[in-house]
């Protein structure tokens, strides 16, 4: 069996095994986090698939995560992830003489989320979030401030995100470290047509600083569809890149197709244990 096919097979097996008559901690958005947490003792499996495509050269990328969540207290939850990324691209990034090149990487993550205010009982929901990731050639620390509010059938959510990444490479026998700081704002709204089905919109602005210098900043936005029942919940969001504020590569200066992709699509599927 090809090593690239193993993660897909594993995701299918886990998905089929998890269809049970149980309740889950559902989400309405794929990129934007909400403040809700699992209650103490509850456990959940989430399967992530994020497809990224469309750069200035041939490029495809698939990010997959298998997440095991558990409630520590009624307001505190934690999770562990296994992360897998597969890329296929033009080895010369569009220059003459390039060939198709593929690569993959794996890492593990640990997250913690603590809810301080409830989005229904309080004026707004508020939670803090932290995540640590480690892999063979990188480390990441990520923090989020999460806000949301439920108004009848409308749900609004806002995330303020900061992520510090350290990437390691060996050049001529010397280890080089590249530091990347990412600042991100996520804004989302959804309308619940029924308790089990909602349609919304998510917007994301991502800004990248490399070794202390501002290099890239782009805005993404697109529709989000969520469905849930007593067996599972699922969310799909499609986000095309709308414009670039810094680092544009297209001739009209509107998109950054060097650092980011033209469109990113994320599908989440989850079931309760």
What mean pLDDT, rounded, does the chain reach?
A: 89
Per-position DSSP letters for 167-193, written without gaps between them = EEEEETTEEEEEEEEEEEEEEEEEEEE
Tell me how far apart the alpha carbons of residues 41 and 50 are, in angstroms, rounded to a whole number. 29
State yes or no: pLDDT of 32 exceeds 90: yes
Tell me how far apart the alpha carbons of residues 43 and 37 are, in angstroms, rounded to a whole number. 11
**CA-angle at 202, arms to 196 and 204, nearest 5°:** 150
| 175-209 tens-digit pLDDT | 888 899 999 999 999 999 999 999 999 999 999 99
Tell me how far apart the alpha carbons of residues 213 and 139 are, in angstroms, rounded to a whole number. 19
| 212-231 tens-digit pLDDT | 899 999 999 999 999 998 88
169 CB-near residues (< 8 Å, 6+ apart): 137, 175, 176, 178
Chain center to CA of 177? 24
Which residues are paired to 245 by β-bridges? none
State yes or no: pLDDT of 19 exceeds 50: no
pTM > 0.85: yes or no: yes
**Structural domains for the chain:** 6-272 (2.40.160.40)
Measured from the Cβ of residue 47, the count of other Cβ atoms closer than 10 Å reads 20
| 52-97 tens-digit pLDDT | 999 988 999 999 999 999 999 999 999 999 999 999 988 777 666 7
Tell me how far apart the alpha carbons of residues 134 and 179 are, in angstroms, rounded to a whole number. 14
Tell me how far apart the alpha carbons of residues 7 and 16 are, in angstroms, rounded to a whole number. 14
């Amino acid at each position: 069996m090809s090593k690239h096919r193993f993660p897909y097979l594993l995701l299918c097996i886990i998905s089929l095994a998890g269809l049970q008559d149980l309740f889950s901690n559902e989400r309405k958005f794929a990129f934007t986090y909400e403040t809700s947490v699992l209650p103490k003792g509850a456990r959940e499996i989430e399967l992530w698939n994020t497809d990224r495509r469309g750069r200035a050269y041939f490029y495809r990328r698939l990010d997959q995560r298998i997440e095991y969540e558990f409630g520590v207290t009624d307001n505190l939850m934690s999770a562990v992830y296994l992360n897998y990324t597969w890329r296929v691209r033009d080895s010369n990034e569009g220059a003459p003489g390039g060939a198709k090149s593929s690569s993959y990487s794996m890492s593990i993550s640990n997250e913690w989320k603590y809810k301080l205010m409830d989005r229904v009982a309080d004026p707004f929901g508020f939670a803090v979030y932290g995540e640590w990731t480690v892999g063979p050639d990188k480390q990441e620390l990520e923090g989020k401030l999460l806000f949301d509010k439920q108004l009848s059938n409308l749900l609004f959510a806002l995330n303020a995100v900061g992520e510090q990444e350290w990437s390691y490479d060996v050049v001529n026998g010397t280890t080089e470290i590249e530091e990347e700081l990412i600042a991100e704002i996520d804004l989302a709204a959804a309308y619940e047509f029924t308790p089990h089905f909602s349609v919304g919109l998510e917007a994301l602005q991502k800004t990248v600083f490399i070794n202390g210098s501002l290099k890239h900043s782009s805005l993404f936005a697109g529709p989000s569809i969520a469905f849930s029942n007593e067996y599972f919940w699922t969310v799909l969001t499609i986000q095309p890149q709308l414009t670039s504020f810094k680092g544009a590569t297209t001739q009209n200066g509107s998109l950054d197709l060097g650092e980011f992709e033209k469109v990113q699509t994320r599908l989440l599927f989850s079931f309760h244990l």
